[in-house]
Every structure is written in structure tokens, then in C-alpha cells.
Amino acid sequence: MKVATFKDGRMKGRTARLLLCGAAAAAIASTALGGPLATAATHPSRVPAVVPTRDIVGTGLVNCAVATGEVGYSPASKAGGASPLTINVWFVATKCTPAPGSKTSPVPKSVIGSISVQTTNGCPLLATSFGQGTLDLTYNYPGVPNPMVDPSSATNVTLGDAGPFWTLTPAPGPNPGLVGSYPSSTFHISFKPNVIAGNCTSGITSEYIARANGPFTNI
């Protein structure tokens, strides 16, 4: 029987070849399984920590005092840039309370909104209307009895500029595009976007929403 021998610090012989082949096979098996052999065992199925037991449908309107978020441009907003320019806006509004005179139940912990519109590229962007789109809203309810979210939407919402602030203006009511738990044709959303990086010559890809211009009302 041949055994492995060492020459110049290296293993020689049939045993060495068997050891190398075994190591290679183990490495291939580990890769095929998606990681080290120590973690290749079947993982247990995962389930939500809390499973909702009943639907939650909110009523009424809310005002939210604080907002943050981001404005994104594709392609970059720049002087003489390619058109059309797509403007994407998302925000999260917090510190929400019932709107005056509204029977609101339950009161959401936060409201998340997003909208996309298309306009002519340029920089700076100055227009009372950049375009219209659908404003999608998600209301994050506290435990009632479990954490829940509830969506709403409003079509034909105008994104525009009012001095240093941007605004989201609903279409005049009655608007059949207002659907969900908090349908409102009187909401007021105004916020201050600040450039993250870039300029009108090199191009601006995004801005952050530094603050709300007053509370977001009747959302």
C-alpha cells in the first residue's frame, strides 16, 4: 500500500491526491448549498410575530406635524438635461392627531406617501405644476389589537412649487379617484426639499425633505 510522502515540504502520493479530491468535493458541495457546510442545514420556516385577527378600517382625517423624506430625479435634474424628467417623492409624516371637527378612529402613528410625475428637465425646477400623478398613502396604526397598515390613494394630485416649498394639491372634489380609509379632497401638503449633492451644471439626483411647511393637514 502506498502512503503519502513529503518532499520539499509538499505531500506526495495517492493519499495526497485523495485528500485533495475530498477537499475539492466538500468545497463544491458547500457552494451548491449556498454557503459553508456548517450552515447548510434546513432553516425553520418563518412566520409573522403577530398575525392580524381582524381588519382595521380607519375613519376621519388627521393632521401630522412632522415630515421627512426624499425627492429623486431620473435622469438627473440639470440645465439642458434629457427629457422627460421623472420626479419621485416619498415622505413619512408623524405626530399625527385628529383633524379639527373630524371623528378619527384609530389615529395612525404615521402616514407614508409617495407620488411620481413627469415633467420637462431643467434646473432649477420652478413651476406651479410639475405634473399630476396618483398619491399613494399608507396609514400605520398602533396595536388595535395588532399593528396594522391601511392604504388610500388620490388621483390627479398636482406636484408643484410655491417659492422655496413644494406642494401636493388635490384635484377639486368630488373626485372619484379618492379611495381608501381617509378620502379627502381638502388635504394640504407642503414641504421643503434641500439638495443632497450636485448642482444644476453637473446634475442633481436627489433632495431630502428637511421639514414640513406647517403640518400636513386633512390627510
Give burial (CB, 10 Å; 0-12/13-18/19+) of 66: middle
* Per-residue pLDDT reduced to its tens digit, 22-50: 544 444 444 444 444 444 456 666 665 66
18 within domain boundaries: yes
Residues 135 and 188 in one domain: yes
Q: State the total domains in the chain.
A: 2
Residues 33 and 92 in one domain: no
pLDDT at 170: 84
Q: For residue 156, give Cα distances in angstroms to 88, 116, 132, 166, 167.
A: 15, 11, 5, 16, 14
Residues 1 and 78 in one domain: no
55 within domain boundaries: no
Q: pTM of the prediction? A: 0.72
Residues 7 and 85 in one domain: no
First-last CA distance in the chain = 84
Does residue 157 contact residue 173 with C-beta atoms inside 8 Å?
A: no
54 within domain boundaries: no
Residues 203 and 176 in one domain: yes
99 within domain boundaries: yes
Residues 75 and 149 in one domain: yes
Instruction: Give me the DSSP letters along 189-207.
Output: EEEEEEE-S-BTTTBEEEE
Whole-angstrom Cα distance, residue 107 to residue 67?
Answer: 16
Residues 97 and 177 in one domain: yes
40 within domain boundaries: yes
Rounded to a whole number of angstroms, the CA Rg of the chain reads 28
Single-letter residue type at 168: L
Residues 70 and 127 in one domain: yes
Per-residue model confidence as pLDDT tens for the chain (219 residues):
444 444 454 555 554 444 444 544 444 444 444 444 444 456 666 665 666 666 677 788 899 999 999 999 999 999 999 999 999 999 999 999 999 988 888 898 999 999 999 999 999 998 889 999 999 988 888 776 667 778 888 888 999 999 899 999 887 666 655 666 566 778 889 999 999 999 999 999 999 998 999 999 988
pLDDT at 121: 95
Residues 101 and 154 in one domain: yes
Kindly report the number of other CB atoms within 10 A of residue 69's CB atom. Answer: 19
pLDDT at 124: 92
116 within domain boundaries: yes
Residues 151 and 105 in one domain: yes
Question: Residue 134 corresponds to which cell in the numbers above?
Answer: 396618483
219 within domain boundaries: no
Residues 66 and 41 in one domain: no
Domain holding 70, by residue range, is: 62-212
51 within domain boundaries: no
Give the 3-state secondary structure of residue 145: coil
Kindly report the number of other CB atoms within 10 A of residue 200's CB atom. Answer: 17
Does residue 107 contact residue 62 with C-beta atoms inside 8 Å?
A: yes
* Per-residue pLDDT reduced to its tens digit, 104-135: 888 989 999 999 999 999 999 988 899 999 99
Give burial (CB, 10 Å; 0-12/13-18/19+) of 111: buried
Residues 20 and 96 in one domain: no
pLDDT at 57: 75
Residue 42's contacts (CB-CB under 8 Å, 6 or more residues apart) are none
